[in-house]
Chains A and B, each alone.
Chain A
Amino acid sequence: MDDQLLQTIIIGLSNGLIYALVALGYTLVYGILQLINFAHGDVFMLGSMIALTLLMMLGVTPGMDVTTTIALIVVVLLVTMAITALLNVSIERIAYRPLRNAPRLAPLISAIGMSFILQNVGLLWKGPASLGFGDVIPNTNVLTTIFGFDTAVELSLKQVFVAVVTIPLLLVLMGFVGKTRQGKAMRATAQDPDTAGLMGIDVNRTIAITFVIAGALAGAAGLVQILYNNTTVWNLGFRFGLNSFTSAVLGGIGNLQGAVLGGIVLGFINAFSDRYLSAQWTNAIVFGVLIAVLVFRPTGLLGQQVADRA
Chain B
Amino acid sequence: MSSSLINPVHVESTGGLSVWVRGIGATITGWPAAYRAALAKNRRRTILLTVLVATVLLYPLIYTAIPSGLTRILPLPSSPVIVFMLIFAIMAIGLNVVIGFAGLLDLGYVAFYALGAYTAAFLASPHWGGVSVVLFSNVPAGFPGIHLPFMFIILVAAAVAALFGALLGAPTLRLRGDYLAIVTLGFGEIVPIFFKNLVNVNFSFGPIQLVNANLTGGPLGINPIDAPGLFGIKFGVINGFAPVYLGMGLVLIAIVIARNLERSRMGRAWMAIREDEIAAEMMGVNTVRTKLLAFALGAAFAGVAGALQASYQGATTSDFFMFSTSILVVIMIILGGIGNIWGVIVGAVFVQYVDKTLLSWAGQRMADIGNATGLEQFGDINPSSFSFLLLGIALVVMMRFRPEGFIPSRQRAAEMHVAPPGQAIGSIGLIEEEGLVPELDPTEPGGDEDPEIAEVPGEEPVGETIAESRGEVTDEEQPR
Contact = CB atoms under 8 A, between A and B. Distances in A.
Interface of A: 34-36, 94-95, 98-99, 102-110, 112-121, 123-124, 238, 242, 245, 249, 278, 280-281, 283-284, 287-288, 290-291, 294-295, 298, 310
B197 interface: yes
Interface in B292-329: 323-324, 327
B424 interface: no
B22 interface: no
A110 B396 contact: yes
Contacts of B415: 103
B334 interface: yes
A94 B387 CA distance: 20
Interface string B175-213: 111110111001101100110110000000000000000
Interface in B207-255: none
A298 B175 contact: yes
Contacts of B386: 120, 124
Contacts, number: 127
Given A103-B416, A280-B197, A109 B186 contact: no
The size class of the interface chain B forms with chain A is 35 or more
B172 interface: yes
B326 to A, nearest CB: 10
Contact of A123 (B175, B194, B385): B385
Contacts of A113: 391-396, 399
Interface of B: 105, 107, 171-172, 175-179, 181-183, 186-187, 189-190, 193-194, 196-197, 323-324, 327, 330, 334, 385-389, 391-396, 399-400, 403, 415-416, 420
Nearest to B177: A104
Interface of B is mostly: helix
Contacts of B387: 120
A217 B120 CA distance: 47
B194 A284 contact: yes
Interface of A is mostly: helix
A120 B392 contact: yes
Nearest to A283: B193
B182 A245 contact: yes
Contacts of B189: 242, 283-284, 287
Most buried by A among B176, B197, B396, B415: B396
Contact of B178 (A104, A116, A278, A291): A104
Contact of B181 (A108, A249, A284, A288): A108
Contact of A238 (B179, B323, B392): B323
A109 B334 contact: yes
Given A105-B105, A288-B190, A295-B183, A116 B391 contact: yes
